[in-house]
Amino acid sequence: MSEIEIPKKPLKFGLFATKPHKKWAIIAICSVIIATTIDRMSVIVLRNLTDSIATQPIVFKAVWIWAIFYPILFLLAGAFWRTSGFMGLRWFMNFRLTAYQALYEYITLHSKDYFNSRFAGALTNKMGNAVDGTESVFENLLWRFIPLIYGLILYIIFAWLSSPLLGLIILIWTIVFLSVNWYFAKKIQPKSYEYAKSLSTLKGRIVDSLSNISLVHESAFLRGEREYINKYIKKQRDKGISEWQLSEWVLLTNNILIFIFMALMIGASVYLFQKNLVSVGVVVMVIAIVGELIGQLLFIGMEIKNTTKYYGEAREGLEEILTEHIINNKPNAKDVDISNGNIEIKSIYFEYNNSKIFKDFSINIASGQKIGFVGKSGAGKTTLVSLLLRHFDVQEGEIKIDGYNISEITLESLRRAIGFVPQDTSLFHRTILENIQYSRPEAKISDVKEAAKHAQIDKFIESLPEGYNTLVGERGLKLSGGQRQRIAIARAFLKNSPILILDEATSSLDSESEHAIQTSLENLMKDKTVIAIAHRLSTLKKMDRIVIIEDGKIVEDGLPEKLLNKKNGIFKNMWEHQVKGFIIDD
C-alpha cells in the first residue's frame, strides 16, 4: 500500500486524472479548436456570399462558390465536432476510471477512526461528487467555454478586419462581459460548496436513518425521526435558494449586457454602411455574429451556475476524502513474515480525545501463550487490540512482534500475521464462500469447507439451496448473529495466522452453539499466540494467563488458578459474582 499524491483542487485533480490519458484529451481539444474555427469562418463566407449577390453586375460563379462553400463548412465542422466527441468519450471514461481508482485506493488507507466518525453512504456520495463534479467541469470547459472564448477572439479578429470600430466594440464588451461573469462565479462558488456540503450531509443522515429503520419503528419514534431529517432537508433547501438566487442575478445581468452588445454592434454596422465604410455583407456578418453569440451567451449564466455547482461538489468531496492519513507505512517500512507471534509492549503512552488510556503500560506475551484480558468497559482492552492492529499509533513507547517494531513494518505484513474475530461480525453482501475466503483469497474451496467444518457452520451452509454460493445480504443480515460469528471464526481458521485475537468471539452464540464450538476454538488456538477479550468463563478457563486491566493499568496478572486463590483478588471477586457463565462488572 503506497501513499498516493492526489491534488485537492478540482482543476488540478482533473489534470491528475487526465495525465494517463492525455493523448485523447489533446486530440479532443484540438478537434474542438478546429471545429470552432471552421464554425466561426461561416460568417466570413456569409459576408462574401452577400457581397457577391449585392455586387452589380452579379457574377454567379462567385455566388455559387460561396453558396457551395457554406454547407461544406457545416459538414467539416460537424466532422471535427464528432471527432471531439469520440475522443472526449475515451478521455472522460478513462478519466473516471483513474479518478475512482485513485480515490478508492486513497480512502481505503484511512484509519478505522476516520470511518467510525463518518457515514459510509456519505463517503460514497462524496467520492461520486468528486469524480462526477470534476468530470462535468472539464466537459463544460471542453465543449462550452473553450469554443465560446476562442470564438469570441476569432469574431474580434474578423470584425476588426472589416472595421476597427466593430472589433473594438466586441473586444471591450468581451472584457466587460467576462469580468462580470468571473465576479459572479467567484460569488457563486462558495455558495455551491455550501450547497454540496449540505446535500452530502442530508444524504448521509438519510442513509443512517434508513439503516436503522427497525429501531425507529420499534421505538415508535417515526415522527421524531422525520422531524430530525426535516431539519437537514430545510437546511439543504435554504442553501439551494441562496445559490440559485445569485445565479438568477447572473442571468439578468447577462441579458442587459447582451442587449447593449446587440444595440452597439447592429447600430455601428448600419452607421458604417450608411457612411459607405463597410459593405452590406459586413452588416449581414455582424447580424450573424450577434445572433450566434446571443444563442451562446443568453444562458451562459446557467452554464456558470452549473459549472460552479459541479466545482463546489468536487471540491467538497475531495477535501473530505483527501484528508491526511493518520496511520501510514513509513517510507522504509519492511514487508516481513511473522511466524512466532511473540508480543512485547514497552512503556506505551496513548491518549485519545484528550483522555489518557495508557500511561507507561508494559506487557510481554510469549509466543504460543493464551492470554485473557478482563476488565470493566472503558478499561482499555479494546484499545489495546486497536493498537496491536495499528488502527492507532502510540504517542510514546513501542510495540514489537517477533522483535519488529510494528510501526516500522508494513501494515499489510502486520495484519497478515493477526487473525481477528470481532464481537460484531461484519460480512460483505457477497456469497458465503467469498466471505470465508476473504482472509485467504487464493485458498481452494476444499480449504474453505474444511475451515467451515472446524467452525461448526458447514452443515448449515450445505443445507441452504445455494450452499456456499448463498448471498448473505447487506452486512450479513440474512444470517443470525451466531451464524455470522461462526463464519468469522471459519475465516480465522482459513487465515491460520500466528497471532489470534478473540474480541468476545462467542458473544452472539447461545449456550448450545457455544458449547459446540468450544472444541473448534481450542483447535483454532493451538500453536498460536492468543489474546482473548472475554467475559464468558468458558473462554477464560482455557487461557494460560489472565490479565485484569483497570484505567489502562494492569492490576492483576497470573495463572487463572493463582488469581482464583488470591485473597480479596479482583478476578476472584468477579468470578464469584458471575451470572450464567459471565464475568460481570461491579
Domains of the chain, residue spans: 10-321, 334-417+536-586
For the stretch 176-222, pLDDT in tens is 988 888 888 788 878 877 887 888 788 878 888 887 787 788 777 88
pLDDT for position 296: 78
Nine-digit cell string for 291: 445572433
pLDDT for position 579: 57
Between 99 and 303, name the one with better pLDDT.
Answer: 99
In 3D space, the residue among 237, 390, 275, 370 whose CA is nearest the CA of residue 327 turns out to be: 390
pLDDT for position 584: 59
Residue 269 pairs in a beta bridge with: none
The sign of the CA dihedral 232, 238, 239, 244 is positive
pTM higher than 0.85 for the full model?
Answer: no
Average predicted confidence (pLDDT) for the chain: 87
- Name the pLDDT band for 116 (thresholds 50, 70, 90): confident
Distance (Å) of CA 585 to CA 40, 281, 356, 376, 512 = 82, 95, 21, 6, 24
pLDDT for position 2: 45
- Name the pLDDT band for 512 (thresholds 50, 70, 90): low
Cβ atoms 411, 1 nearer than 8 A: yes
Cα radius of gyration rounded to whole Å, the chain: 35
For the stretch 438-460, pLDDT in tens is 888 899 999 999 999 888 889 99
- Residue 237 amino acid letter: R
Between 296 and 406, name the one with better pLDDT.
Answer: 406
334-417+536-586: which CATH topology? Rossmann fold (3.40.50)
Q: Say yes or no to pLDDT of 28 above 90.
A: yes
Q: Ranked by mean pLDDT, which of 401-415, 474-488, 512-526 comes out on top?
A: 401-415
Q: Which CATH architecture has domain 10-321?
A: Up-down Bundle (1.20)
Q: How many percent of the chain have pLDDT more than 90?
A: 40
- Name the pLDDT band for 396 (thresholds 50, 70, 90): very high
For the stretch 409-436, pLDDT in tens is 999 899 999 998 887 787 888 899 999 9
pLDDT for position 585: 55
For the stretch 320-361, pLDDT in tens is 899 988 888 888 889 998 989 999 999 999 988 888 889 899
